[in-house]
């Protein structure tokens, strides 16, 4: 009997699908793709809004986070890491990445370096990526 593996919120489910038609198996596979897309979209939205709880953090002399333990809205744990601290605006973070670990599945949200104006306001923000 064949099986189909689907993942919902990082939890792997193996369905025995040997008795399902090819069309039903294709529909289940399509559902998995949809679930993955929704999960990716949620993580991206949370990353753009910094929607995670700061559990503990290590900060530099300017009070910018160097690294931190975080919890995401879905209960996943992770680590926030500053990749580029602003030299022009001490305490500000210009680039970072954060892991999202749920049921042994790790995703990483990465904010490439932003651009600031003379007052420190963000003038360009490259897209956050999820890998």
- What 3 state SS string does 73-97 have? CCCCEEEEEEEEECCCCCCCEEEEE
Comparing CA positions, the residue from 65, 40, 36 lying closest to residue 128 is 40
Comparing CA positions, the residue from 112, 31, 47, 104 lying closest to residue 80 is 47
What is the pLDDT, as a whole number, of residue 6? 64
User: pTM of the prediction?
Assistant: 0.76
Comparing CA positions, the residue from 131, 86, 89 lying closest to residue 113 is 86
Question: Element (H or E) spanning 101, and its range?
Answer: strand 93-102
CA distance 86 to 95: 9
Comparing CA positions, the residue from 62, 64, 108, 69 lying closest to residue 82 is 64
Stretches in the chain below the pLDDT threshold 50: none
Burial (0-12, 13-18, 19+ Cβ within 10 Å), 76: buried
What is the pLDDT, as a whole number, of residue 125? 97
What is the pLDDT, as a whole number, of residue 120? 96
What is the pLDDT, as a whole number, of residue 77? 97
What is the pLDDT, as a whole number, of residue 103? 87
CA distance 38 to 1: 30
């Amino acid at each position: 009997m064949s099986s189909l593996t689907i993942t919902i919120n990082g939890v792997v489910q193996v369905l025995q699908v040997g008795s399902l038609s090819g069309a039903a198996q294709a529909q289940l596979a399509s559902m998995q793709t949809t679930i993955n897309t929704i999960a990716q979209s949620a993580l991206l939205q949370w990353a753009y809004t910094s929607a995670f709880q700061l559990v503990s953090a290590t900060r530099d002399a300017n009070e910018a986070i160097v690294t931190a333990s975080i919890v995401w809205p879905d209960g996943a744990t992770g680590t926030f890491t500053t990749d580029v601290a602003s030299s022009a605006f001490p305490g500000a973070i210009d680039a970072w990445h954060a892991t999202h670990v749920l049921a042994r599945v790790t995703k990483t949200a990465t904010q490439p370096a932003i651009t600031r104006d003379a007052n420190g306001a963000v003038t360009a923000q490259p897209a956050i990526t999820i890998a």
